[in-house]
Amino acid sequence: MASKSDNATPSENPENGESETGSTETMGFQAEVGRLLDIVANALYSEREIFLRELISNAADACDKLRYLAIETPALSEGDSDYAITLDVDRDAGTLTVSDNGIGMNRDELIGNLGTIARSGSSAFVDNLTGDQKKDVSLIGQFGVGFYSAYMVSDLVSVESQRAGEEGAWRWTSDGRGEFTVQPVEKDGRGTAITMHLKEDAKEFLEDFALEKVVKTYSDHIPFPIRLVNEPSTAEEGADDADTEAQEDAEETRQLNTGGALWTRSKSEIEDQQYTEFYRHTAHAFDEPWMTVHFKAEGMIEYAGLLFVPSERPFDLFNPERLSKVKLYVKRVFITEECDELLPSWLRFLRGVVDSEDLPLNISREMLQNNPVLSKIRSGVVKRVLGDLVKKAEDDKEGYEKFWETFGLVLKEGLYESGGDQEQILKLARFRSTTQDGLTSLADYISRMKDGQTAIYYISGEDKDALAKSPQLEGFAAKGVEVLYMTDPVDEFWIPSVGGFEEKSFKSVTRAGADLSDIKKEGDEEKDADKTEEEKAESSVDSLVIALKLALGDQVKDVRASDRLTASAVCLVADEAAMDLHLERLLKQHKQLEQTSPRILEINPDHALIKALNAKAGDDGTGDIGEAGSLLLDQARILEGETLPDPSAFARRLADVMAKAFG
């Protein structure tokens, strides 16, 4: 309830602390809070009614927290276990009070929670304050800024609170200008009452219809009753009227929201706006959900879920803990939002709730680990979400591609972590490729495969544009064979563990074994097959291969004639059994690998330089090819974007060759 002392002695002004001499402490806000409050209090903006959504959301969280603790310790909620949120309007005083009988706050919590910014939305907003002020202010509505949004409509806010199970209550008061005070008070029962002294231009929030509209719009989904109480007015003309009428007025209490957990209602009764507001409340987010998954599983194990895929990346998506954020409920009672077992970390972008009928209410953290019921729920939920994503990918191609750009990176972690969902995730995966403009699925890639092509070809590296110039792609381009770009670091890890898709294996074009000879060049089928022995002998560069092997020794694993080059003279590829080039470089960068292993040097038999050198090498490969071996190898390294082991030797050799050419 609202603070009784305020209403009982309206002539006194308890907020200034004069009545409690000695025990009132004054403290300063954390600097960021000060900046935030300045903007919140002074700016003009359109969506200020959201202050009520924020306070109700906090009150509901407080009720959830106590309801959970009271399962273990029933004494905490003794005498008052009907959780509710109350709006009290006092027209004479011009105040609106939002109160709850939830967990409450003690003195230290009041100071810590309301004097510093701990909250994601608020800190994201403060981070945004740098730069263009106008743009920033318009974001208040989006971020919500939590408790502080009360200052959008108030000159003065006082918070009275008593922590459940503790003695004594405290009043926190501030006009939002740099300081707040804390003092002990008498309070009628546990919980929190937040009284706002409304600004002159915010008196509309004393009106029933205004409050009702705001509650219906933003807070209808709150599972606790939200009640509106009208305090009897003493100043109004009504006081002269019949006593009975005034009495009836005084006692009016009305529930404004539908109440009951949103996920227990049937889909047809729920409007999009309600889903959105529920998402924002549970996720502490301010964007629109991109996808909503509302389901009920019946049978051996019963559970319901209301899950959302956000449209924006949550700020903590790449925190190293990779925690799932979906809230676990048991029979409508909130249990925890830190339940690793509920969902795999590669679905950590999901928000919302899962509510089980079969888990015991007093389940402990330890019991949640390796719990067979929970693991069945987990696999059921994963199937449901992946299935819905597959559908969404078909129905809304454009929206799906945006989803993939936003969360694909996380989902791909499931390719090496998931037990048995790889097939489904591969269906969802999208890639860029050498022949397509946008993103492509693997199924579409396969539908474009050439005759004789048996593998899904890819090239991995950091940057698509740089990769596009790789010499190893030349032969694929010439034969019109599509190659996928794998530019995320996780790609190096899932490819080896996945193997293939629809019986087609993944093959790196920078590795030996990515053989193009079975794939016919378009419109070129006859010619290739009809090559005479003579022609074949002519394009043989066997002598040069021997000469290069002699010259380069163990700097290379092997030297081979290439079928993947058309324009470039040389390129490097990894041995089929060795690590792929990009992965080696990644590991070396992160000091996980000391030395890259020797590579295979491939030479282009149709290149003029190679032909000329082949002639120089003589019939048995012992002819003098000078410094050509080292130069070719260094050239191949440069094409790979690698640093040369001995750049000065390279420069000297190049200078010698140029001197001969121009000398």
Binding residues for Mg ion, per CB under 5 A?
A: 58, 146
Residue closer to ligand ADP (CB basis): 147 or 457: 147
Residue 166 CB, shortest distance to Mg ion, in Å, is: 22
Give strand ranges (E) for 101-248: 154-162, 169-174, 179-185, 191-198, 226-230
Select the residue interacting with ligand ADP from 3, 97, 174, 192 (CB under 6 A). Answer: 192
Phi/psi region, residue 509 (left: phi>0; alpha: psi -120 to 50; beta: rest), is alpha
Q: Of 16 and 73, which has the nearer Cβ to ligand ADP?
A: 73
**Site for ligand ADP contains 95 (CB under 6 A):** no
Interface size with ligand ADP, residues (CB under 6 A): 18
d(CA 362, CA 359): 9
3 binds, among Mg ion, ligand ADP, none (CB under 5 to 8 A by kind): none
Cβ closer to Mg ion: 98 or 552? 98
Least Å distance, CB 275 to ligand ADP, is 20
Of 40 and 426, which has the nearer Cβ to ligand ADP? 40
Q: Among 53, 67, 107, 119, which residue interacts with ligand ADP (rule: CB under 6 A)? A: 119
Min CB(193)–Mg ion separation in Å: 16
Give strand pairing partners of 356: 303, 330
Which range, of 118-126, 297-305, 419-427, 456-464, touches ligand ADP by CB under 6 A? 118-126
Quick check: 102 binds ligand ADP (CB under 6 A)? yes
Residue 83 identity: Y
Axis crossing angle, helix 397-411 with helix 372-395, rounded to the nearest 10: 140
103 near ligand ADP, rule: CB under 6 A: yes
Give the 3-state DSSP-derived string for 31-52, with helices as H, strands as E and coil as C.
HHHHHHHHHHHHCCCCCCCHHH
Q: Hey, CA dihedral for 476, 482, 488, 489, is it positive or negative?
A: negative
Distances (CA, A) of 164 to 182, 334, 647, 649: 19, 17, 72, 77
Tell me if 282 contacts ligand ADP by CB under 6 A.
no
**CB-based contact 147:55 (threshold 8 Å):** yes
The C-alpha atoms of residue 325 and residue 605 are separated, in whole angstroms, by 57
Which of 37, 59, 409, 490 touches ligand ADP (CB under 6 A)? 59
Which stretch in 44-52, 111-119, 507-515, 562-570 sits in contact with ligand ADP by CB under 6 A?
A: 111-119
* Site membership for ligand ADP, residue 105 (CB under 6 A): yes
482 touches 516 (CB < 8 A): no
Tell me the closest approach of the beta carbon of residue 66 to ligand ADP, in angstroms.
Answer: 9
CB of 423 to Mg ion, least distance (A): 41
Answer whether 90's CB lies under 8 Å from 99's CB. Answer: no
In 3D space, the residue among 393, 336, 392 whose CA is nearest the CA of residue 364 turns out to be 336
Tell me which of ligand ADP, Mg ion, none is bound by residue 103, counting a contact when its beta carbon lies within the kind-specific cut-off of 5 to 8 angstroms: ligand ADP
**Piece in contact with ligand ADP (CB under 6 A), picked from 56-64, 216-224, 260-268, 350-358:** 56-64
Which does residue 105 touch among Mg ion, ligand ADP, none (CB within 5 to 8 A, set by kind)? ligand ADP
CB of 183: closest distance to ligand ADP in angstroms?
Answer: 18
Q: Which of residues 142-161 bind ligand ADP (CB under 6 A)?
A: 146-147
Gap between the Cα atoms of 573 and 559, Å rounded:
10
Per-residue binder mask for ligand ADP (CB under 6 A), 513-552, x = binder: ----------------------------------------
> CB under 5 to 8 A by kind: which of Mg ion, ligand ADP, none does 470 bind?
none
Distance of CA 23 to the CA centre of its chain: 46
Nearest approach in angstroms of CB 32 to ligand ADP is 12
> CB-wise, 64 or 640, nearer to Mg ion?
64
> Residue 94's binding partner, choosing from ligand ADP, Mg ion, none, with beta-carbon cut-off 5 to 8 A by kind?
none
Residue 62, contacted partner among Mg ion, ligand ADP, none, CB below 5-8 A by kind: ligand ADP
DSSP 450: P
Q: In what order do the strands lie in the sheet with 85-90?
A: 25-28, 179-185, 169-174, 154-162, 191-198, 95-100, 85-90, 226-230, 253-255
H helices of 288-371, in order, are: 365-368
284 touches ligand ADP by CB under 6 A: yes
113 vs 508, which CB is nearer to ligand ADP?
113
SS3 readout for 489-524: CCHHHHHHHHCEECCEEEEECCECCCCCCCCCCCCC
Tokens of 505: 């294996």
Q: Rule CB under 6 A: say whether 614 interacts with ligand ADP.
A: no
Minimum CB distance to ligand ADP, residue 56 (Å): 9
CA pair distance 394, 445, nearest whole angstrom = 16
Structure tokens at 550: 């002699």
192 makes contact, choosing from Mg ion, ligand ADP, none, with CB < 5 to 8 Å by partner type, with: ligand ADP
601 binds, among Mg ion, ligand ADP, none (CB under 5 to 8 A by kind): none
Q: Which is nearer to ligand ADP, 122 or 635 (CB)?
A: 122
77 is a site residue for ligand ADP (CB under 6 A) = no
Q: Closest CB to ligand ADP belongs to which residue?
A: 146
Question: DSSP labels for 346-371?
Answer: GGTT-EEEEEESSS-TT--HHHHTT-
Q: Which of 380, 378, 368 has its CA nearest to residue 345? A: 378
100's contact among Mg ion, ligand ADP, none, with CB below 5 to 8 A by partner kind, is ligand ADP
For the chain, give the longest Cα–Cα distance. 122
Structure tokens, 199: 């600004």
3-state secondary structure of 20: helix
Q: Report the nearest approach of ligand ADP to the CB of residue 146 (Å).
A: 2
Contact 434, 468 (CB under 8 A): yes
Q: Is 531 helix (H, G, I), strand (E, B) or coil?
A: coil
User: Rule CB under 6 A: which residues touch ligand ADP?
Assistant: 54, 58-59, 62, 100, 102-105, 113-114, 119, 121-122, 146-147, 192, 284
